Amino acid sequence: MTDPTTLTEPTGRRRRGRGRTRQVTPRTHWLLLCVLVVTLSAALLLQGYTHHMFGITSDDVTGPRGRADTVPGQVARGGPVIAGAAGSPHTARPKARTIALTFDDGPDPVWTPRILDVLRRNHVHATFFVVGTQVVAHPELVRRIVAEGHQIGIHTFTHPDLARLAPWQRSLELRETQLAVAGAADVTTALLRPPYSSQNDALDDADWSVLKQADAAGYVTVLSTLDAEDWQRPGTARVLANATPHGTAGQILLMHDAGGDRSQTVAALRTLIPRLKAQGFRFSTVGAAVGMAGPVRPAGTGDHLQGIALIKMLQLGDWTIRLLGVLMYAAGAVSVLRAAIVLVAARRHRRLRRGRRARPWGPPVTERVSVIVPAYNESAGIEAAVRSLVASDHPVEIIVVDDGSTDGTADLVESLGLPGVRVIRQRNAGKPAALNTGLAAATCELVVMVDGDTVFEPDAVRTIVQPFADPRTGAVSGNAKVVNRGGLLGRWQHIEYVVGFNLDRRLFDLAECMPTVPGAVGAFRRRALLALGGVSDVTLAEDTDLTMALCRAGWRVVYEEGAVAWTEAPASLGALWRQRYRWCYGTLQAMWKHRGALVQRGSAGKLGRRGLAYLLLFQVLLPLLAPVVDVFALYGLVFLDPLRITALWLAFLLLQLLMGLYAFRLDGERPGPLWSLPLQQFVYRQLMYLVVVQSVFTAVSGSRLRWQRMERYGSLRTPTDAQTPGEDRPPRVPA
Least confident of 605-609, 683-687, 717-721: 717-721
Helical ranges in 673-719 per DSSP H? 677-682, 684-701
Among 684, 696, 681, smallest CA distance to 620 is for: 696
Position 360 scores a pLDDT of: 75
Position 330 scores a pLDDT of: 81
Are residues 520 and 493 in contact, defined by beta-carbon separation less than 8 angstroms?
Answer: no
Position 349 scores a pLDDT of: 87
Position 318 scores a pLDDT of: 81
The pLDDT of 536-546, averaged and rounded, is 92
Name the β-bridge partners of 564: 479
CATH number of 328-701: 3.90.550.10
Are residues 10 and 537 in contact, defined by beta-carbon separation less than 8 angstroms?
Answer: yes
Are residues 567 and 460 in contact, defined by beta-carbon separation less than 8 angstroms?
Answer: no
pLDDT confidence band for 298 (50 / 70 / 90): very high
More reliable by pLDDT, 710 or 580: 580
Least confident of 2-6, 243-247, 554-558, 617-621: 2-6
pLDDT, averaged across the chain:
86
Position 700 scores a pLDDT of: 75
Q: Is the predicted pLDDT of residue 40 greater than 90, yes or no?
A: no
Position 143 scores a pLDDT of: 97
More reliable by pLDDT, 268 or 327: 268
73-299 under CATH 3.20.20.370, yes or no: yes
Are residues 426 and 432 in contact, defined by beta-carbon separation less than 8 angstroms?
Answer: no
Position 56 scores a pLDDT of: 60
The pLDDT of 239-255, averaged and rounded, is 95
Pairing of strands 187-189, 191-192: unpaired
The pLDDT of 300-326, averaged and rounded, is 87
Q: Is the predicted pLDDT of residue 222 greater than 50, yes or no?
A: yes
Find the Cα–Cα–Cα–Cα dihedral 419, 425, 431, 435, rounded to 10°.
-50
pLDDT confidence band for 721 (50 / 70 / 90): very low
Delimit the domains of the chain by residue range. Answer: 73-299, 328-701
Among 529, 335, 356, 382, smallest CA distance to 447 is for: 529
pLDDT confidence band for 701 (50 / 70 / 90): low
User: Rounded distance, CA 7 to CA 593, Å?
Assistant: 11
Name the β-bridge partners of 447: 370, 524
Are residues 50 and 157 in contact, defined by beta-carbon separation less than 8 angstroms?
Answer: yes
Q: Is the predicted pLDDT of residue 58 greater than 80, yes or no?
A: no
More reliable by pLDDT, 628 or 183: 183
Name the β-bridge partners of 708: none
Range with the largest mean pLDDT of 22-36, 43-57, 358-372: 358-372
More reliable by pLDDT, 735 or 444: 444
pLDDT confidence band for 250 (50 / 70 / 90): very high
pLDDT confidence band for 437 (50 / 70 / 90): very high
User: Rounded distance, CA 720 to CA 390, Å?
Assistant: 11
- Buried b / exposed e over 563-592, threshold 16 CB at 10 Å, is bbbbbbbbbeeebbbbbbbbbbbbbbbbbb
Are residues 206 and 66 in contact, defined by beta-carbon separation less than 8 angstroms?
Answer: yes
Position 60 scores a pLDDT of: 56
Position 400 scores a pLDDT of: 96
Are residues 278 and 14 in contact, defined by beta-carbon separation less than 8 angstroms?
Answer: no
Q: Is the predicted pLDDT of residue 632 greater than 80, yes or no?
A: no
What percent of the chain lies above the pLDDT cut of 90?
Answer: 60
pTM reported for the whole predicted model: 0.71
State the catalytic residues: 104, 256
The pLDDT of 337-361, averaged and rounded, is 81
What percent of the chain lies above the pLDDT cut of 70?
Answer: 88
Which amino acid would we find at residue 173? Answer: E
- Give the single-character DSSP code of 131: -
The pLDDT of 340-349, averaged and rounded, is 89
